Amino acid sequence: CAAPPAVAPVDEAAVSAGAIARSGRFALRSDEYSGKQHAVQGGFAWRDDGRALTLDLSSPMGAIIARVEVAPDGRAVLTEANGTVTEADTAEALVERVLGSPFPVQGLRYWLRGGLAPSPAAQVQERDAQGRPQAFAQAGWQVRVTDYDALGPVRMELQRDEPGRGRIQGRLVITPPAP
């Protein structure tokens, strides 16, 4: 069979050192086995300088409803629009509090750059012509990237099955920068 496409080298140091700023919209949906449905839609702004991360979640009107700040050591602080401040060891736990369903913050720090997190090991199922991951599973999430630009994915679908709880599906669309 044909040799697999040349894999674009993902230089971990470059990936983590470089700053990335992306904004767009997300939709999260959880379907619990109990039949309960829950959905969240909104805008997000993602600013990661490789050490600290700031994730803003905003309402359709553009007003920020919650801000998650992740320090280089991983500790996360959530500030909600009503002034409530909460801290936790991981961003995942905090964002789940705001959105009501899990959200792979740590994984996204790599996925949004077109890379994969160093751990846990990822299973890459498909790569695009440039060797970038197009379908892969990591940290319990099945991820499909349907569109890339020079910086990384611009359209992603994520899915996670939580045994005994239900299925979470997410879609992210990056808004193209102003021309």
Partner 1 sequence: AAPADAAGQLRAFVKDVRSASGSFTQVTTGAQGAGGGQQQAGSFAFQRPGKFRWAVEQPYEQLVVSDGQQLYQYDPDLAQVSVRAAEAAIGNAPAQVLFGSGSIDASFKLEPLSARDDLAWLRAVPLTSEAGFSHMDIGFADGLPMRIELLDAFGQTTRIEFTTILPNPDLPAGAFEFAPPPGTDVVRM
Chain residues that interact with partner 1, rule: CB under 8 A = 21, 23, 25-27, 29, 37-41, 43-45, 47, 54, 56-65, 67, 79-83, 155, 169, 171, 173, 175-178
Token pair, residue 22, equals 């992306």
- For residues 78 and 68, the answer to whether their CB atoms sit within 8 Å is yes
Site of tokens 């997410």: 170
Q: How far is the CB of 9 from partner 1 (least distance, A)?
A: 30
Q: How far is the CB of 132 from partner 1 (least distance, A)?
A: 21
Residue nearer to partner 1 on the CB measure, 44 or 136? 44
Residue nearer to partner 1 on the CB measure, 13 or 61? 61
Q: How far is the CB of 169 from partner 1 (least distance, A)?
A: 8
- For residues 173 and 157, the answer to whether their CB atoms sit within 8 Å is no
- For residues 29 and 36, the answer to whether their CB atoms sit within 8 Å is no
Handedness of CA 118, 120, 121, 122 (dihedral sign): negative
